[in-house]
Amino acid sequence: MLKLSYRYDQTAARLEVDGLPDFSSGHGDSVIGILSAWRLQLVGAPELEGKRDHLEALMAVVFPYARHQISGVSRPEGWSHHPVSIRPVDGGHQLGLTSSQPDVPP
């Protein structure tokens, strides 16, 4: 098997994704078509990691939240899509994640 890993770095964040090409969908051997794991490191925050469904839930919350914040039409209650939530707090943002592992606090 041809395992692929990609890392995306920004000033305050690093995203690493691991997976395999999906040759049945016509992907090349350098394209992740089957996501197996991801890790997100944000400066000053614990590392986040998970499977594809966790990353999809994170994106389902962060994208609309960011669009509303940028457009100036923020929602005080924030956005939520289990297991992820985000809301404005005291000039910042609070990201909440509920772990699928037992005995891990949000």
pLDDT profile of the chain (106 residues), mean per 10: 91 95 88 93 89 89 89 80 85 83 74
pLDDT of residue 35: 94
How much helix, strand and coil, in percent to the nearest 5, is found in the chain?
Answer: 20, 40, 40
* Domain assignments of the chain as residue spans, ordered by start: 1-50, 51-106
Reported as type and span, the H/E element at residue 81 is strand 79-81
Answer for the pair 96, 84: CB distance below 8 angstroms, yes or no: yes
